[in-house]
Homo-oligomer: A and B are copies of this chain.
Amino acid sequence: MAKSAKSTISGFIEFLPEQQLVLQEFICRIREAYELHGFSPIETPAVERVDVLTSKGGESAEREIYAISRLLGQQDGADVTDANLALHFDLTVPLARYVASYASQLSFPFRRYQIQKVWRGERAQAGRFREFYQCDIDIIGREQLSLLADAEMPAVIYDVFRSLTIGDFIIRISNRKILRGLLRHYGVDGDTSAASVRVIDKLDRHQQSDWKDVLIAQTTLSPEVVEHLTEFFFSADCSTAETLQWLSAHEAKADGDFALGVEELGAVVKAVGELGVPETHFTIDLRLARGLDYYTGTVFETLLIGYESIGSICSGGRYDDLASFFIDEKLPGVGISIGLTRLMAQLLDKNIVKPRASTPAKVLVTSLDKKHLPEYLNIAKVLRSANISTEVFTEKARLGKQLKYAVRKGIPLVIIAGDQELSEGKVQLKYLTEDFAQKDIEEIPLQEIASRVTEKLRELSLSWNAW
């Protein structure tokens, strides 16, 4: 649990307004980046039929599902299907159901984003939430989907995290076919291969020295194969061009999957660069495995430089078939997901994000004298018409208390107007600096309020927009 966040029920996080403002701004910027790349919003009900949710199988998912039922039992005339409803635990199963339901009304490739909460009845533990936001995009093809769709993912990731300004990041790219082909080349296939991939996925960011020991301890791979693998994973730590060249010359290229994986990876990486992601922000990393069996080709992860221990802040990959349970048509796709609630809790906890204000208001109009209320309300009206978020202090209180209120909420500008100012057609504009120690007063004519405040806010924007 983030130290600055609250929760009344274990696993359900709740933010104070100053934190929620940042979360809200994050959601807006993520949405903007998704829309910039032509993804359309959809939203599915929080509630799905249980048979829909369990369609992909997997006992662990089933154990985490929250079923819903009427607190006081069935009402007269109530829908009997209510008994088989539950909260969605991800946005992928609902997407599959949605695409299958409306296939004839959608245009393919179908590019959708979906930012919603999901619920999982997980065991309560630090950093795990039972309710959390997922911010997903996917591109779904009908029967086929170009590798360019894969290349769009890092381009979107790049725009999202540049916009969030939470620090440097790197997008790691690999292709599952390479690892599968490599293992088969060394005689490892089937269940042993899948199990090894899961171990490699967990090893991922460990030191090279750990790899051999863990692989020998936790898999049934022979020491010889383990030797080949660790050599493979740790010799390719260079530029994407060099890595691709090295892969093309690798002895495992005799394996069809390996060769196809290298070809796909090359095409994706080339297009990622052409879409504008600089070489500094993405890399081929063959250690990246992504444990989910779901992925069949390109896979992605994103690390925040200096905070790699947080784990991936945005992951995803290519899959062969989205909705085979719901529709008799092959729907290949590629997607990524940001686990926003967990990310936000981590950013707050590590002080990477420091909320500055508990209100969107940029101006507080103080009340000195009840008889001037019409003027105060009019000032608020004028500022709001100029699109400046404004609050009027409406309660009875001395000016000192009103200023403290502004300071506490992080409102940078305060307007003060008593008999004298108003009789001269003026107001005082007080600027409460970031540390609230200094205060800066200037008198401005009433008719210039909107323009002067806009100007002042523009001056301040750097320090006040930063978090």
Contact = CB atoms under 8 A, between A and B. Distances in A.
Interface stretch (A30-38, A197-205, A232-240, A242-250): A30-38
Given A68-B68, A81-B9, A395 B20 contact: no
Interface residues of A, number: 108
Nearest to A383: B36
A62 B159 CA distance: 46
A389 B42 contact: no
A11 interface: yes
A307 interface: no
Given A8-B45, A35-B389, A274-B373, 19 more contacts: A6-B101, A8-B49, A9-B49, A12-B47, A14-B45, A14-B98, A17-B106, A37-B390, A38-B391, A62-B71, A63-B75, A65-B71, A68-B119, A76-B123, A107-B358, A141-B395, A159-B384, A274-B374, A276-B385
Contacts of A305: none
A384 B12 CA distance: 37
Interface stretch (A82-90, A171-179, A279-287, A311-319): A82-90
Nearest to A393: B109
Given A36-B387, A40-B20, A395-B141, A79 B10 contact: yes
Given A35-B360, A101-B8, A41 B66 contact: no
Interface of A: 6, 8-17, 20-21, 23-24, 31, 35-50, 62-72, 75-79, 81-82, 85-87, 97-98, 101-102, 105-107, 109, 111-112, 117, 119, 121, 123-124, 130-131, 141, 144-146, 148-149, 151-152, 155, 159, 271, 274-276, 358-361, 373-374, 377-378, 380-381, 384-385, 387-392, 394-396, 405, 408-409
Given A9-B85, A63-B70, A17 B37 contact: no
B38 A15 contact: no
A41 B12 contact: no
A97 B274 contact: no
A152 B395 CA distance: 13
Nearest to A7: B45
28 contacts: A8-B48, A9-B47, A10-B79, A12-B45, A13-B45, A14-B43, A14-B44, A14-B45, A16-B105, A16-B106, A20-B41, A23-B43, A24-B41, A36-B387, A36-B388, A37-B389, A38-B361, A40-B358, A46-B46, A46-B119, A67-B68, A68-B119, A78-B121, A111-B359, A145-B394, A152-B392, A274-B378, A276-B381
A388 B36 CA distance: 6
B38 A360 contact: yes
A141 B405 CA distance: 13
Contacts of A385: 276
B109 A395 contact: yes
A427 B106 CA distance: 29
A396 B107 CA distance: 15
B373 A271 contact: yes
Contacts of A380: 275
B373 A121 contact: no
A112 to B, nearest CB: 7
Contacts of A98: 14
A458 B462 CA distance: 29
Given A14-B98, A20-B42, A144-B395, A70 B81 contact: no
